[in-house]
Amino acid sequence: MTPAERLLLTAKRCEIDDLEHLTAACDIVGDVSRFVHALQKERGASNVYLASQGQRFAERRHERIDECMATEQALRVRLDALGDTAGRPATTARLLRRIAYVWHALDGLEALRSDIEALQTSPDDATQAFNQLVSALLSVVFEVADTAGDPEVTLALVAIFHLMQGKELAGQERACGAYGFTSGGFDDAHCQLLLHLIDAQQRCFDTCLEFTTEEGRQHWQREMPSRTLAGIQQLREMACGITALPKSASPLGETWYELTTLRIDAIQRVEAFLIGELSNLCLAKTLDARRSLTHHDDLRRELSDASPAVCQQLVELFDGSATHELGEVTARVVGSSLNRSLVELMRAQAGRLEALSDELENTRRALRERKLIERAKGLIMAHQQITEEQAYAFLRKMAMDQSKSMAEIAQTVLGLADILQPLPGEKKRDHATG
């Protein structure tokens, strides 16, 4: 084996190591997906239970808790294993920090369930607690997508992340609607929240479908239940005041819960399909890299293909001009139709790689900007004691007033983090006056 082949072989082994650890990180996405789905169902059942003062969904809520605990245990095992891979290529400090936050939040679930069981918390407060945990879980998926080095894997993760985020918003819509219908009506705050959730989740689904495969888009079309969607739309119109609520709206809480659950279960099946595609992609890339280790002829061929012939180098340097002092032979080689076709092929390949690189960079930029905006929202919410929707509206208004992007405004807000941190003992500001 030549020195060049040994070097390429070592590069292949490094590539396999990277892919194996990326696969381990991607496996977490599947566990997070299953746990979040179970957690979302527990949140919805808990809302009906609380809104009915414990009269409804008591038994169903316990079934959801059992399901949650099973998926939670599987996730803990996976997260604990990833924590042992510190320093590996697919494990970053940010990802490990996110996992630590998730683990801490999981430890608070038992106390939340006890408060719900004893009716010692409100539906809104319980929903907020569940939302924070789900948000921490989704941030793990975000970090996996943000740190993946393979372009195809990154695009698949971006699609999955947006689908999971959209499904979480759909779950929050289910919880909000379950509370409103079960309690007999919607006030302005819950009506506005419902409208925001409907709009935000659709944007997430549109982004997912933009980045996923054609097979993924077709699977989405097949899974969406048209009759269920029509029933949900009817109830949405009642909740938002477009059509009148019946005098006794309380039984609609269970109808709403069942219909929205059917829709979320359908989204979960699409999510599982995309995660399956991701697993197959990682496996195929790993197997392909491993196969090349035992085929030395492939290594030689790869080395030969990667090194452009002399005539191709001359074409790049001199653009095919025969007027340079290259001699008649070189001029004939450069001008031949065969060489021209090879050059055009190389340029076409380079163009495709550049386009893919641009698309990947745009995706990474969008992820970075989303992260800035989320951090800025959290800072504003903590300082002003306002809701997430109000914080987002605040950022958006600042961006419009100053003719800047949301990301630029978010960066400015984060630059003032030390000033905006609430002082110890500072009283919370009243929502109405803040």
Residue 248: DSSP 8-state = -
Phi, psi of 79 (to 5 degrees): -65, -40
Span between the terminal Cα atoms of the chain, in Å:
72
* Residues making up the chain, counted from first to last: 434
Residues 398 and 12: their CA atoms lie apart, in Å, by: 49
Which pTM value belongs to this model?
0.63
Task: Compute the mean pLDDT over every residue in the chain, rounded to the nearest whole number.
Answer: 77
Q: Is the pLDDT of residue 431 over 60?
A: no
How much is the pLDDT for 352?
Answer: 53
Task: Assess whether pLDDT exceeds 60 at residue 312.
Answer: no
* Nearest residue to 409 (alpha-carbon basis) of 364, 379, 384: 379
Task: Give the start-to-end residue ranges of the domains of the chain.
Answer: 3-290, 308-420
Fold of 308-420: Arc Repressor Mutant, subunit A (1.10.10)
Given this model, what pLDDT does residue 18 score? 73
Burial of 101 (0-12, 13-18, 19+ CB in 10 A): middle
State how far the alpha carbon of 108 is from the alpha carbons of 114, 219, 258, in Å. 10, 36, 28
Q: Locate 74 and state its tokens.
A: 């599987």
pLDDT of 222 above 90? yes
Give the pLDDT of residue 120. 94
Residues 62-78: what's their mean pLDDT?
90
Does residue 195 have a pLDDT over 70?
yes
Residue 318 has pLDDT above 60, yes or no: no
Single-letter amino acid, residue 139 = S
Tell me: pLDDT of 147 over 50: yes
pLDDT surpasses 50 at 121 = yes
Average the pLDDT over 407-434 and give the result: 60
**Closest C-alpha among 22, 184, 138, 163 to residue 91:** 22
Q: Within a 10 A sphere around the Cβ of 232, how many other Cβ atoms?
A: 22
Hey, what are 50's tokens? 């609380």
Question: Which of 41-50, 335-344, 418-427 bottoms out in mean pLDDT, i.e. has the lowest?
Answer: 335-344
Q: In sequence order, which residues have a C-beta less than 8 Å from that of residue 198 and are 6 or more positions away?
A: 173, 236
pLDDT band at 59 (very low <50, low <70, confident <90, very high): very high
Per-residue pLDDT at 163 = 92
DSSP string for residues in 373-407? HHHHHHHHHHHHT--HHHHHHHHHHHHHHHT--HH
Q: What single DSSP character describes residue 250? A: T
Rg (CA), the chain: 27
What does the alpha-carbon distance between residue 169 and residue 188 come to, in Å, rounded to a whole number?
A: 19
**Which single residue is written with the structure tokens 């269920």?**
228
Q: How far apart are CA 90 and CA 140, in angstroms?
A: 13
Residue 376 has pLDDT above 80, yes or no: yes
* pLDDT in the model for residue 358: 64
**Residue 347 vs residue 268, higher pLDDT:** 268
Percent of the chain past pLDDT 70, that is, above it, reads 76
Residue pair 261/174 in contact (Cβ under 8 Å)? The answer is yes
CA distance 220 to 292: 36
Q: Which of these ranges, 75-89, 99-113, 212-226, has the smallest mean pLDDT?
A: 75-89
How far, in Å, CA of 302 to CA of 287, rounded?
17
Which pLDDT score, from 0 to 100, does residue 366 have? 76
Answer with the residue of higher pLDDT: 377 or 309: 377
In terms of average pLDDT, the best of 47-61, 306-320, 375-389 is 47-61
- The pLDDT of residue 92 is 66
Phi/psi at 186 (5° precision): -120, 130
The DSSP output letter for 150 is S
Residue 207 binned pLDDT confidence (cut-offs 50, 70, 90): confident
